Chains A and B, each alone.
Chain A
C-alpha cells in the first residue's frame, strides 16, 4: 500500500523540541507577557443580542483616576470592504465592526467600547461608567427565524448574493450558491431506492483551552509591536493593518506559544483595540479574555440545517444526490457553507448531483473556522443518510461506500480530478479492523462514517542556518500547535542527513521569518515542510560547492550521502567524505556561513480521507450515551511523526464526539447564551472517552517530497455521523438533530 522508502528519521517518534518547556510550565502563552508600565484593557460588551447603538459616552470612564484610554467604534478608522480569504471567510469591513461595534450591536457580547487602566479591576470599574443608549431590537436566533418572511433584518444592505437578478428586498440570506453536475431529475428517476432526511447541527465552540490574549505597544513613531496567541501572525499583521489603517511594515507581530486554536485563532478580536489604546495612552496594553468572553464573543462554528436526498440502484450504486443546506454565519456574512457544500459528496462517484447552499446571518457571534470548516456539519448529514440507505438496501455500510468510493482519476464533486487518494484503503482497513466485528451487547450499537477535507497549500518560507559545528537551525513562520516543530526538524534532519537531536526550530516573528500563511488548512507539515526540505536542499547544494572548492574539483563531481559530501562515483579522487560539521567549520574560508532558504506557494495538497468506527452504549432509561469504542482510520500520505498524527486523529475524534453528544450553545428567548463556561458547555472530559484506536494509512501524496498530505482537519469530520449512526444502531431510531443529548434521546425513545 505505501511506497517503501528507506527513511532514517521520518516516521520515528522523538520528543518534540518544545516539549520540555511546555510540560514544565516555562513556555510563554498569550497572557504570559508583560511590559513595564503596562495597562490592562477590558471590553464593554453589548447586553443585548440585537440593538441600535444611539449614543456612547466615554467621559466618566476617562475621568476615573488610573484610566488612560477609552475607545468605541467612532475611534477606529473606516475600513473598506474587501475579502479576507483563508479558511475563515468574511470581509475586513465586517471584521472591523466585529472587533468594535459601529452603530449596531449584533449579538449579546458584541464589543461596544474598551478601557485601558492601571489594573484590570480598575478597568472593569471604569466599564460601569460608560454610558450607552441602546434601541433594543428583536433578536434573530436561528435559521428558521432568519429565513422566515418578514424576519427582522440584521443589516438592510444585505441582498442575497448569487441570485440572478439581484433580489428586490434585503434579507438575512447573505449568499446562495449552487453546485451541480449531470441531470438530477434523471438520476432520481433512475434510482430504485430513494432516501431523504433532514439534519440539524447546533452552534458549537472550538473549545481551545487558552483564551484570546495579547500585549501591544506602540511607539511615538507609530510602530507597533504585538504579542498574541494566534495561528498565523502574518495574517494578524494584515488584519491589524486593514482595521487600523496602518502600513504592514509598522506592525511587528510575535506569535506566542498557543494553547489551542482549531481555526478559532485565525481571526482577531482584541489586537487592534490594544494597539489603538496603546497609541492613545503611550503605554503597553494587555488584553486577555475570560472564558465567558471567549464563549460570548469568539468562535463559534455554524449551526446548520441540511435537507438531503439520495438515490441508488439496488446494488448500491448512487444515481443521484441532492442537498439543500443553510449555515448560520453569525452576525456578519461568511459562514463555511461553501466548503461544506464542496465536501458533502466528495467521497463518492456521482454523475448527478445538486447542492444548494445558503449563508445566513443571525444574532450570534460571527462564526470562525473550526477544523475542516463546514465539512463536519454537511458530511454528518450525508453520512447519516448513507447509513439509512445501507439499512434500506440491507447492505453493509462499508460495502455501500466501497461501491461508490472515489479513486484516482475520478472527478471530485467539487471540481478537480483526484490524484492518489486513500479512501478505499481506509474503508478496507475499517472492514478488516477487529473493532468492526466484535460482539456488542443489546444496548450497544456501531456506526461508521467517512470523513474528507481538501487540505490547503498556500505560501510558506523557511531558512536553514548551519551553525559552526554543523548543527542546524530552522527558521519558519508557523505557530506550533500540534507538534510542527518536531515535524520540521525531522524533515530537515532526513534531508540533510544529520541527527534529529542536532536540529533546532524557531518559529520566527513577522520580522524574522519570511512570509508564511496560517497554521491552518492542514497545510503546515505539507507546505512549510516542503519549504524546509527545499531550504535544506539549498544547504546541500551549497555544501557540495564548498566541498568542490576544498577538493578543487567541479561541483557536479560532488555527491551528498548521509550528511556528507563525497566525490561522485567514478571521480578519480580519494578524498575523505566531508561532514556538514567539517564543511561548516571551514565555511569562513570557503565563502562564509551556510544559509539555505526557500519560499513557495505550495501546490498539490493531497486531500485527506478518513473512516471512523464508533461503538456506543445507550442507557434505555436515561438516554445517556457512552462511547465504548472509537477507531479513527485516516490517510496521512506519509506520517512524518506518527505519534503527532495519532494525536491529531484522537483529538479530532474527541471534538467530534463532543459535538455529536453534548456540545451546544443554549440561548434564552432574548438571545443570551446560558452556558458560557465549560461547566455547562460540555466538551468531553477524559473519563467520558474510551481509548481512541488509530490506524494511519499511507498513500503518498506525489506532490510532496516525502508524500505528506495534511492530517489536522479531516479527523473531526467523520465522528459526528459515526456516533450518530452508532446511536441509530443501538436504539433503532434516527434522531436527525445534534447533539444527541440524554433528554433528546430519551424523548425520542419514549415516543
Chain B
C-alpha cells in the first residue's frame, strides 16, 4: 500500500474547505467512510499518493432522523447500525436486507450506505433498493446543499455525479405510503461473502383489494449501473401479481438487462436470473405490502 496523507475534520465546513483546496490545486483527494472499498482499492489496485479525507467525525453524516414525511440516513452510518434499527427495517425491509447482504458482520461494522452508493459498483447491493424507494441524495458543497434523485447519481462503473469539492451528506427517503413495501434479492453462488451476479429490487403499493397501484423495479449487476425497469412496472401495476404479471415483469427485467460474461457468470445466465429475481422479489414485496411478509 502506498503512502497517503490523512485528515479527519470534525466540521462539515472544514471538510468542504479541504476538498475545495485540493480541487483548486489539482491535488488528488478521496473521501473515506468505512473504507471497505477504498482500502482494498488502495492496497491492490491503485496505490498512487493522495489525501484521504475521513468524514466519519462530521455530525451531519451520522444522523438518522424520521422527521416529517422523510427519513434521513447520514452517509457514514455503518450498515450494522442501520440493520439493527427496527423502525427502518419496518419501513424498508427490502433496503435493510440489501444492507444486511454486504459482506459479513465484520464488514458491516465498517461499511456504510453512502460508501456503497458512492462507490457505484454495478453490483452494489443497496443501489437498486435505493432506486425503488425513490431516494434522494443530499450533496454538500461550499455553496450549501443540493439534492439529486439517486438514479441520476450513479453514472457509470465506479462513477457518481459528485463534482470536485462535493461530498454525499446523506440520503432522503420518502416514508412509504400505506400498503407499500419493498424487497431486494441477489443471486450469488454461495450464501455470503460474494458479489452479486445479478440483483433485483421491487417496491409495490396496493389498494385495499390487493391490486398493485404503484410499483418500482430496479435491477443490478446486469449493466454498467443499476437500472430502473419501467416495463416491469407496467406489468405489475393493475394486477394482483398473478403468475402472468410476474412472468411479464421477469421478462421485462431480462430484456432491460445488458450483462457481460465474466468470472462471475455468463451473459445468458445473468439475463435469465435477473428475471427470476424480479419475480421473486415482487412476490415478497407484495406479501409484505399485504402485511403477510
Contact = CB atoms under 8 A, between A and B. Distances in A.
Interface of A: 121, 621-624, 661-662, 666, 674-675, 678-680, 682, 684-685, 687-688, 741-743, 746-747, 750
B195 A682 contact: no
A746 B189 CA distance: 12
A51 to B, nearest CB: 24
B22 interface: no
Contacts of A741: 189
Given A622-B273, A743-B266, A746-B269, A682 B189 contact: yes
Contacts of A121: 1-2
Nearest to A673: B263
B167 interface: no
Interface in B246-283: 262-266, 268-269, 272-273, 276
B221 to A, nearest CB: 14
Interface-centre pick from A621, A624, A684, A743 (highest chain B CB count, 10 A): A743
Q: For chain B, give the interface size range.
A: 20 to 34
B193 A679 contact: yes
Given A662-B190, A685-B191, A742-B269, A621 B276 contact: yes
A684 B263 CA distance: 17
Contacts of A750: 272
Nearest to A684: B190
B194 interface: yes
B102 to A, nearest CB: 13
Contacts of A624: 187, 189
A617 to B, nearest CB: 13
B101 to A, nearest CB: 12
B263 A680 contact: yes
A111 B273 CA distance: 41
B142 interface: no
Question: DSSP majority for the A interface?
Answer: loop
Contact of B192 (A674, A678, A680, A687): A687
Top 5 A-B residue pairs of the complex, sorted by shortest distance between their CB atoms: A743-B269, A687-B191, A666-B263, A674-B263, A621-B276
A688 B269 contact: no
A662 B188 CA distance: 11
Given A680-B195, A685-B193, A687-B191, 11 more contacts: A621-B276, A666-B263, A674-B262, A674-B263, A678-B193, A682-B189, A682-B194, A687-B192, A688-B190, A743-B266, A743-B269
A622 B266 CA distance: 13
A740 to B, nearest CB: 10
Contacts of B268: 743, 747
Nearest to B270: A743
A121 B2 CA distance: 8
B276 A622 contact: yes
8 contacts: A622-B187, A622-B273, A661-B189, A679-B194, A682-B189, A685-B193, A742-B197, A746-B269
Nearest to A125: B2
Interface in B1-21: 1-2
A666 B194 CA distance: 16
A741 B268 CA distance: 14
Given A685-B190, A685-B191, A746 B263 contact: no
Contacts of A742: 187, 189, 197, 265, 269, 273
Contacts of B190: 662, 682, 684-685, 687-688
Contacts of B192: 685, 687
